[in-house]
Amino acid sequence: MNWSARISNVLREEHKGEPRPRFDSRDRILAGSLAAASGAVNLLLLAVVGLSRGGDTFRYQAAAQDLLARRSFGGPAGWAYAGYNGLLATAEATGVGDVGVVLFQMLVAACATAALYDLGRQLGGRAAGLLAAGFFVVDYDIARWHLYLLTDSLYISLVSIGTWIAHRAVGRGPGAYAAASGVLLFAALVRPNGWILIPIVAIYWIVRSGLRSGVKVASATAVAVIYAGGAMAVAIMQFGGDASPSSRVPGATQRPNPQTLPFARDLTIRDRLNSRMPIRVLTELAHVKPTFSRRHKVMVVVMLAAVYPLAGVGFVRSRRRPLARLVATVIAGHLMVVAVTFRDPDGRYLLYIFPLFVVFAACGAVALRWRWS
């Protein structure tokens, strides 16, 4: 047996009661229609609202200019967003400019819409897929970020696409794993939050592989230990100094030093790993921010009051499925990042994983509908 055949054999899927529903022509039509609807809605928003820039846009544009001039990024902060900086540089070099970047973000959002449909379809059927993808299309809280020259739109979409393509790669051979790895690496280079996806998916692939149980445990443990060690090394470099008095104020926010990683706030590891970790997570999950209007706050409360309980039902009903466990772990991993770093002031960190919450909620809604009927 040659090496290619051996690798394919090791990477084969272990079917543990999870047959994949066939993606037929009807599903292709539905997924394509939803993706087209996403593009139409976002183009309408662009025409009405216009392109927007955030406080960090200038940093990405400056890094893109450095790339075009073949200069150094000027510190870890530039490399932390190398994927997005490279995208801006490519847009500038090809002449499509800022509008081209926003259109690319909308294209990736359309792909994420199709991915969410398939995630929901596999866990809860076509109706769940339609609900999950449809919500992603009409949720203005997410759609408005597609208009910004910021990393958030692209990362929101890449989390959903990365989760879908990582699951899809299982049992499909080295080419599928390579394609999924490329998407995950791009997500990690767009935002540093994306690095949490890599160990999650690596362990998922190990668990789903044809390796012996002992080898699986050893391999998964090695991935976790190596990754945790690397994360701790970065944390020591960033948070190892004494905290300044102003930074110790609970909930205080400061502009990051351009020479440090974006999640640094001059706090020690001891300050991070304290009793406020659950508070940071709960505050992020609440998603109601002081900057929101009263109408926005009411809409958020009503939406979350429906999504979270339904997501709980959806997860409980599908918790034995490997795909459900992958989705749940991606959600938990991003919340862990919030717990050990900080809660953002405008709720973007929840939006990175909120489409995955909605996938579970759609499955829960469909399950309750069938039970009531």
Per residue in 22-71, pLDDT tens? 888 899 999 999 999 999 999 999 999 999 998 889 989 988 988 888 88
What is the structure's pLDDT at 133? 97
Write down how long the chain is.
Answer: 373
- Residue whose C-alpha is closest to residue 63's, from 45, 75, 46: 75
Cα 239 to the center of its chain, rounded Å: 24
In the numeric block, the tokens 């359309």 are attached to 110
**Which residues neighbour 104 within 8 Å (Cβ) at sequence distance 6 or greater?**
87, 91
Q: Tokens 């927007």 — which residue?
A: 52
pLDDT given for residue 277 in this prediction: 80
CB 38 within 8 A of CB 137: yes
Per-residue pLDDT of the chain (373 residues; tens, 9 = 90+): 554 554 445 444 444 445 567 888 899 999 999 999 999 999 999 999 999 998 889 989 988 988 888 887 656 567 789 999 999 999 999 999 999 999 999 999 999 999 999 999 999 999 999 999 999 999 999 999 999 999 999 999 999 999 999 999 998 889 999 999 999 999 999 999 999 999 999 999 999 988 888 888 999 989 888 888 777 766 665 554 433 333 333 333 343 443 444 444 444 555 555 557 888 888 889 888 888 888 888 988 999 999 999 999 999 999 999 999 999 999 999 999 888 876 677 778 999 999 999 999 999 999 988 676 6
Say what the pLDDT of residue 185 is: 95
Burial-class residue 275 by CB neighbours within 10 Å (0-12, 13-18, 19+): exposed
- Residue 201 Cα distances to 151, 208, 230, angstroms: 22, 10, 17
173: left (phi over 0), alpha (psi -120 to 50) or beta: left
Contact 268, 242 (CB under 8 A): yes
Q: Is 173 helix (H, G, I), strand (E, B) or coil?
A: coil
| Cβ-proximal residues to 24 (8 Å cutoff; 6+ apart), any chain | none
pTM of the entire structure?
0.84
Q: What does the block give as tokens for 91?
A: 């847009």
Q: Quick one: pLDDT at residue 258?
A: 39
Q: With H, G, I as helix, E, B as strand and everything else as coil, classify residue 22.
A: coil
- Is 102:2 a contact under the CB 8 Å cutoff? no
Give the rounded distance of the alpha carbon of 266 from its chain centre. 26
